[in-house]
Structure 1
Amino acid sequence: MCNNGYQRPQCSNCEVQPLFKTLSTTTLLLLLIGFSAIVNSQHNSHWDLPGPYCGARPLSNQCCRGRQDGCSQPILDTICYCDEFCNRTHAPGYQDCCPDYLPVCLGIRPEPIIKKCYLNGRFIEIGETYKINCNDCKCQWMGDRMDLICDQQECIINSTLINIVNNNWNRYGWRARNYSEFWGRRLSEGISLRLGTLLSARKVLAMAPISPDYDARELPFSFDTRHKWRGLIELPRDQGWCGASWAISTVSVISDRMNIHLNSHYKPLSPQHLLSCNVRNQPDSGCNGGHLTRAWIFIRKFGLVTEECYPWEGYRTRCVIPKRKHAKESRCVSPQMQRSPLHRVAPVYRIAGEQDIMYEIQKSGPVQATMRVYQDFFTYGSGIYKCTSIAKEHRTGYHSVRIIGWGEEMQYGQRVKYWIAANSWGESWGENGFFRIRRGSNDCKIEDFVLAAWAAQEKTASINFKDPTSIDNRISNAI
C-alpha cells in the first residue's frame, strides 16, 4: 500500500522471469519495440516528466527483478516503480513504471513526445493559433496528448450544407457555391453586415396596398425589365461589409424608375447620400441596418444627388449636403463635379399579391422587396432558390432587394414559377449578381412587404386604379 492510497494489483504469481533468460534475441527485439509503443501510448501520462527516478536509485539496486513494491520513487503526489512487474503487457492500463524505466532498466530510448498538432499536412506549434474557416483554433497539451481546440462559431460558409444542396439538386432546384469573400466570416457578421433592413413598426407593415385595375389574363408568363427597357436598369451593386441594403435597394429602384420615366440612362443616384444623411430615427452607424419607409420619406422631402456627386464609401460619413425641403440642387462631395440636381419621389406605396406585383413591374419598373435571409442564401449560385429545412435552425435576418421580372421553368416535370431579383453583393455572386426565387408561395416572405414610388416629375400615375379618388390616401397610409 502506498502512502497516497494507491494499491498495486494482486497476482497469483508475482515472480516475473528474467526476460533475457527466456526469450530469443529476435523475440526480445520485437517485445522491446512493443514496450516502446506502449510507453508512448496513453497507459502512462507521466512519461514526459523530467527525472531522474530509477536513475536516482543506488546503482546496485536501480532496477529490481519480479515484483518488489519497495522498488519505487516518488513522483508528483504518488509513486512510480522500477521493478519488472511495473511493465506488464498482460494488464493494459496498469503500467506504473517511472518515466525513465525503459532507458535505465531496459536500455530503450523511447521516441520523444512531439508537442505539436498535425492538421492538413502541417504541424502546428503548441500555443500557435490556426484558423479553420471562421473559427480560431489553438494547439494545446491536454494532459496526455496534443489537441487542436477550436471556437464553435457558426460560419457563413458551411461545406456540409453546400454538399447537401448540390447533392439534392432535384429536391431544392438550385445549386450552392463557396464564395471566397464569405469564407472565414462568422454568420453573425453576415447577418449584421451583408443584409441591413430593419422591420418597421407594425402600423407601417400594415399599410394598405394599392388596388390596380387590370386584366390578370393579359399578364405574360415571363417578363424582364432589362429587355423591355434596355440599358435603363441598374446592374447589381456591392454594398460591401456594410448592412445597407435598405439604402442600396431604395436608391436603385428610384434610379431605374427615373431612367424609365425619362427614357434615357441618367446618372445613377447616390446611396451614400442616403446612408450618410438619413440619420433621423435610423441606427447610429447606418451600416447596422435601416428602415425603408424612413428612407423613402427622406428622399421625398430632401431629394438625392447623383452618385458621381456623392460616391459610395461603404460606411456612414459626415453628411455634407444641407437638408433643405425646397432646394433644387446641392454642392457635391466629389471634386470632379461642382453641383448636382436633387431628385425626389412621390409618396411611397405598397403592392400586395403576386399578380399585382407583376402588373406594377410591367407598367412602372422594378419594385423593392424585403426578404428573410437564411444561412444557405449566402451560398446561392444558380437556379430557383428556396429555403432548405437544414438552414432554418440558424440565425436569420432581413434584406431588401429589387424584383425586376418573373418567369417559369420546368424542373423534373414540374412547372416552377419564379421572381428575378437583383441582390447587392456584386456581380460575382449568384447569377451575375441576380437570383431567382420561387414566386407565388411567398418564399422567405419576399411577397410580404413590396414598395415602390413614382418619380416626382411624373404628372400622372402610369397604372390604373379601381378607385382613383383613394390613391393619395393609400400611398401615404401610415407613412
Structure 2
Amino acid sequence: MHLDKYLLVLSAVIICASCSHSLDQEWEAWKTKHGKHYVTSHDESFRRMAWEATWHKVQEHNQKFEQRLTKYRMGMNKFADMTSRERRSRSCLSPKGKRGIMPTNFPVRAYSKSVDTPESVDWRDSKCVTHVKNQGLCGSCWAFATVGVVEARNCIKTSELVELSEQQLVDCDNTNDGCCGGDPAHAMDYVTRNGMMKATDYEYADKQAACFYKPANSLTFNVSKYYNMFGEDNMATSVALDGPIAVSLDASEDFQLYEHGVFLGECSEELNHAVIIVGYGTEYVEEEEENVDYWIVKNSWGDDWGDNGYIKMKRNVNLCGIGSEAAAVDLV
C-alpha cells in the first residue's frame, strides 16, 4: 500500500516536472517569435507568471473549441504576457462624454429598411482595403479606423488605393487626444476640413509629436456628408451600399486572444476600441444545424494578431457593443 502511494506521488512529480520543462521550451519559443526582451529578471518572472495564466486560459478554451462547444479559437499571441487587469484596462477611445454626435452639422444616418442588400459583402475583394496596420503602443485606434474608412471609400470612388497618414491625425487633430484616445466621428470632421497627407509623406511614429501637416501636400476629398449610425441592420446596409465603416467596441480579454473562427467571447458594451467593418456574411455550422451571421472586422494590431489581422464577430446580437457607435464619410 505504501509502495503504491509512493509510486503515485512519484508519477505526479514526474508529470509536473515534464510539464514545467515543456512550458519552459514554449516560453522561450514564444519570446523569440514575438521579440520579447525584459529589462530585469524580476520583470521576466512577473511576465512569465502572466503568460502561464494566459496559457492555461487558452488551453482550456481551445479544448472546448476542439469539442465544438465554441466557434472560435484563441492563440498565444503577443498579448499573452499581459495580466487580465492590463488587458481590461486597454483603451484608445475618448471618454464617453466626449464621443458621439458632433454638436453641429453631424447627422445621424438611417437607411431605409426596404433597401435590398446582398447576403454577404467583403470589400477586400475590390482591392480597396489597405494592408493591416499596427498602431503599436499609441492609443490611436481611432485614427487608424478613420483613415481606413477614408482610404477604402476614396478607392471605391476613384479606383485608386492611396495610403493616408494616421500620424497626421495623431499630431494635428486637436479635437482628439493623440495617443491618449479619440473618436472616429470627430476625426472625420477633421478630414473633411483639412484633407489628408499620404502616409509616405507623413509616416507613422507610434507616438504623438508636433504637427507637420502641409496643406500643399494634402489630398482633399469631395465629402457629401459624414455621419453617425446606430444599429446593426443600418450598419450592414451602409457597408453593402457605400463601403467600410468605423465602429467602436469592447476589446475584451477574450477579443485580444482571438485567433480564428466566429468570435462570441465574453465582453461588455463599455466601448474602448475602434476598428473597421469591411464586410459581413453568414456561416453554416453543420453540427448545430444553424446559420451564424458575422462581421468581417479589420483591426489595427498588426497582421500577427487574430486571423492575419482580422476577426469575424457574431452579428445581430450587438456583441461587445459593436452596434452602438458607427461612423462613416460619403465621398463624391
Fold equivalence (TM over 0.5): yes
What corresponds to 1:421 in structure 2? 297
Deviations 1:320-378 (A, max 9, x none): 226xxxxxx43xxxxxxxx3434464442122233222221111100011011211111
User: Structure 1 222/274 Cα, relative in aligned 2: closer, same or farther at 3 Å?
Assistant: same
Question: Hey, what's the Cα distance between the residues in 1 that align with 2:220 and 2:188?
Answer: 14
Q: Does 1:406 align with 2:280?
A: yes
Higher helix share: 2
User: Structure 1 130/419 Cα, relative in aligned 2: closer, same or farther at 3 Å?
Assistant: closer
Q: Does 1:308 align with 2:200?
A: yes
Q: Does 1:296 align with 2:188?
A: yes
Instruction: Kindly report which structure 2 residues correspond to 1:204-223, keeping only aligned pairs within 5 A, or say none.
Output: 204=100, 209-213=108-112, 215-216=114-115, 218-223=116-121
Which amino acid in 2 is paired with 1:233? V
DSSP-derived class of the 1:373 partner:
coil
Which amino acid in 2 is paired with 1:298? Y
Aligned residues of 2:136 and 2:206 also touching (Cα < 8 A): yes
Instruction: Kindly report which structure 2 residues correspond to 1:412-451, keeping only aligned pairs within 5 A, or say none.
Output: 412=287, 413-451=289-327
Question: Hey, what's the Cα distance between the residues in 1 that align with 2:52 and 2:163?
Answer: 31
Question: Hey, what's the Cα distance between the residues in 1 that align with 2:271 and 2:229?
Answer: 22
Q: Does 1:380 align with 2:258?
A: yes
Deviations 1:395-437 (A, max 9, x none): x761111111111112222211101110111112111111100
User: Structure 1 210/279 Cα, relative in aligned 2: closer, same or farther at 3 Å?
Assistant: closer
What corresponds to 1:264 in structure 2? 160
What corresponds to 1:131 in structure 2? 44
- The correspondence for 1:253, drawn from 149, 154, 159, is 149
TM-score by length of 1: 0.55
DSSP-derived class of the 2:272 partner:
strand
User: Structure 1 384/343 Cα, relative in aligned 2: closer, same or farther at 3 Å?
Assistant: same
Which amino acid in 1 is paired with 2:213? I
User: Structure 1 311/205 Cα, relative in aligned 2: closer, same or farther at 3 Å?
Assistant: same
Aligned residues of 2:185 and 2:228 also touching (Cα < 8 A): no
What corresponds to 2:79 in structure 1? 182
Question: Hey, what's the Cα distance between the residues in 1 that align with 2:274 and 2:81?
Answer: 24
Question: Hey, what's the Cα distance between the residues in 1 that align with 2:209 and 2:246?
Answer: 25
User: Structure 1 192/248 Cα, relative in aligned 2: closer, same or farther at 3 Å?
Assistant: farther
Query: Offset of 1:163 from its aligned partner?
Result: 1.9
Query: Offset of 1:208 from its aligned partner?
Result: 6.3
Instruction: Kindly report which structure 2 residues correspond to 1:270-285, keeping only aligned pairs within 5 A, or say none.
Output: 270-280=165-175, 282-283=176-177
User: Structure 1 157/379 Cα, relative in aligned 2: closer, same or farther at 3 Å?
Assistant: farther
What corresponds to 1:351 in structure 2? 229
Query: Offset of 1:186 from its aligned partner?
Result: 4.0
What corresponds to 2:123 in structure 1? 225
CA RMSD of aligned residues (A): 2.9
- The correspondence for 2:213, drawn from 302, 311, 321, is 321
Which amino acid in 2 is paired with 1:134? R
Query: Offset of 1:301 from its aligned partner?
Result: 1.6
Instruction: Kindly report which structure 2 residues correspond to 1:356-371, keeping only aligned pairs within 5 A, or say none.
Output: 356-371=234-249
Which amino acid in 2 is paired with 1:255? E
User: Structure 1 367/379 Cα, relative in aligned 2: closer, same or farther at 3 Å?
Assistant: same
Query: Offset of 1:300 from its aligned partner?
Result: 1.7
Gaps of 5+ in 2: 1-18, 25-39
Greater RCO, 1 or 2 (C-alpha within 8 Å, sep 6+): 2
Computing the radius of gyration over CA atoms, which structure comes out larger, 1 or 2?
Answer: 1
Aligned residues of 1:196 and 1:246 also touching (Cα < 8 A): yes
Aligned residues of 1:196 and 1:398 also touching (Cα < 8 A): yes
Aligned residues of 1:309 and 1:340 also touching (Cα < 8 A): no
What corresponds to 2:34 in structure 1? none
User: Structure 1 258/357 Cα, relative in aligned 2: closer, same or farther at 3 Å?
Assistant: same
Aligned residues of 1:255 and 1:269 also touching (Cα < 8 A): yes
Aligned residues of 1:276 and 1:316 also touching (Cα < 8 A): yes
Question: Hey, what's the Cα distance between the residues in 1 that align with 2:210 and 2:229?
Answer: 34
Aligned residues of 1:304 and 1:344 also touching (Cα < 8 A): no
Gaps of 5+ in 1: 1-118, 137-153, 323-328, 331-338, 459-479
